[in-house]
Every structure is written in C-alpha cells, then in structure tokens.
Amino acid sequence: MKRDHKNRIRKDIPVRSVRTDVRQTKTAGGNFVDKIKAYRDLHAHALFSSLGRLVASPFTSIMTIAVLAIAISLASGFYILVVNLQQLTGNLETSNQLSLFLRDDVSDAHANKLADSIRQNENVQDVKIISRKQALTEFQTYSGFGTAINALEENPLPIVIQVLPKNSLEDKQGLEDLLKSFEQSPEVDFAQMDLQWIERLQSIMSVARLFATLLNLMLGGAVLFIIGNTIRLELHTRRDEVVIAKLVGATNGFIRRPFLYTGFWIGFISGVSAWFVVTTLMLVLRQSVEKLSGLYGDSFHLLFLDFTQTLALIGISSALGVLGSWAVLMYQLQHTKSE
C-alpha cells in the first residue's frame, strides 16, 4: 500500500517541470531566449494545471466560488447603489436654486445687466430671469386666483432672478457665502434658499458613501480569508507532493506558482460571476425603477457597471485571490520548511 501511495504521488508531480526549475536556478549562463521560453512554459503549465484541478473537483470549486461571488456582488451592488443615489442627487441639484427677488424700481434692462454680471461668477452654473409679466402669468396659471389677479390695476410681482450654483449639494459653506453676497446687492430686495434640506441630503450621502466603503473593506477581507483558507486546505491535501518536490530541489517559488494561479482563477471566476449577479439584479429592477420615476415626472435611469468598473471589479477580485494565496503560502511553506 505504501509503495502504491508513493507511486501515485510521484505521478502527480510534474518531474520535468521540477527539473527545469532546478536547472534554471543553478545555471548562471545560457541563452536568454531559452530562459524566457522555459519561464513561459512553467507559468503556462501552472496556469492551466491549476484550472484543471478546479475543474476536476467541481462541487468544491462551485461552492467556494458561489460564496465569494455573493460577497463580491454585495460589495459591488452597494457601490452601484451609491452611484445611482449620486445621480439622483445630481438631478435634484437642478432644482436647488437661489431666488433673487429684485426691488420694484429695478427695470428689465437693469435686471438683464445684473443677470449678466452674475453669470460671470465662477460659482454659478446657470442664471434665469423671470420678468414681472412671466411671473404674473405663472401665478394666474397655478394659483387658482386668476380672476382676482385680473382685478388688480398693476402687477405687484417683482422681477425674479433664479441662480443655479455649482456643486450645490457638496459645498454648503460656499452656498451660504454666495447667498450673502447676493443679499448685499443693492438691486436685490431679498434672497431665498432652503439650506436645511441640502445639509440633510449631504449628510445622508456622506453616510451612504462611508457605509459602502466600510462594507467593501469588510467583504474584501472576507474574500481574502476565504481564498486563503481554500488554498491552505489545498496545500494540506498536497502536502506530500510539496515535501517530495522540495526533496528533488524545487524552489519555494516553483511550489507557490500553481497555488497562486489557483487563487487567481478563484478570484477571477468569482469576479465574473459577481458581475453577472449584479447585472441581472439591475436588469430586474430597471423597469420598476423607471416606472416609479415616470410617476414623479422624472426621467431617472439606472446606471450599470461600465466597462472600466467591470474591469476594476474583476481585477480586484483576481488580485485578492492572489494576495490571499500568497499570504497563506508564505506562512505555510516556512512552517513546512521548519518541520
């Protein structure tokens, strides 16, 4: 039985690759092109053999990848949720305007000059003038007092300049300074803006971004631990193979290589699976969200993970797989060496 066990282990060891690795470490000279080719062959063998081992144990691989995909999809799902909330607040920003009610003695020409000077302000995004006639027409249309307004001998409504600030949902202090500067203008009777709801919205978005960041860090740590534990179990299963490889002269780098590629494949496949999960959920929610948006007279559309974000998702997942594997291997191989 012991002889059969040893023979089986020796068959699993890529002896030719081990000898190539030993020959590379001991040979100082040699053709540089041959070294590059040998290095490429070693990595190609480790890359595809590690994938083959995952395919050879489908149940264990699917269970591990499913858990990791759920964790990564939660992290990316909260991220895209915050992105859509920022888009929503960007739409709300267009309704966040400063209303400047001018004095009764200000003429239309003077109001136009004032509006042109306000447009030169670097903190202002857009300026709109509502004349006395336009204001009266809107009041008659929406107030329900059209007959009473017709009884007035003159238009009592002032000229209004609506100012849309830049980054109005991010810089509350800048809004207050801008509002004070307009109030000091001799043409302005008074300026109006509700800053309280802006402060509340800023606080909500800040909490949402912080929560998403902390959640991503926690789930990223969970991915590291899960992949590290998976590699630890794989290394424990192949411990005899590792010991024999060391006896025939294999370096730690050679032994680590297939396990690192295993971590890479687990992270890569988990990242791709998480992208499919998030995209599917967004597709399911899109119609309902757009229908709700239409009921409020808005044209809100859900944002999906774009190409750059998708690459970042898969790249971070793969990097976490390699990092988790490397951390476990560094400790385990040193422990094996000390034994």
Which tokens hold the place of 187? 């043409």
| Residue 4, pLDDT score | 45
Percent of the chain residues past pLDDT 70, beyond the cut? 79
Q: What is the DSSP letter of 296?
A: T
pTM comes to: 0.68
Alpha-carbon span 249 to 254, nearest angstrom: 10
Give me the half-sphere count of Cα atoms (radius 13 Å) on the Cβ side of residue 197. 8
Residue 77 CA to residue 27 CA, distance in Å, equals 51
Sequence-distant (6+) residues with CB within 8 A of 276 are none
Please state which of the four CATH numbers 3.30.70.3040, 3.30.70.920, 3.40.309.10, 3.30.413.10 is assigned to the domain occupying 97-192: 3.30.70.3040
Report pLDDT for 10: 39
Domain spans of the chain?
A: 2-90+202-338, 97-192
User: What is the reported pLDDT for 194?
Assistant: 65
Q: How far apart are CA 26 and CA 250, in angstroms?
A: 11
Decide if pLDDT at 190 tops 90.
no
**pLDDT tens, residue by residue, 6-45:** 443 334 444 445 444 544 444 444 577 878 888 788 888 8
The pLDDT score that the predictor gives to residue 264 is: 94
pLDDT over 90 (residue 334): no
pLDDT digit string, tens, across residues 239-296: 888 888 778 877 777 888 889 999 999 999 999 999 999 999 999 988 888 888 777 6
Give Cα 317 to chain centroid, integer Å. 13
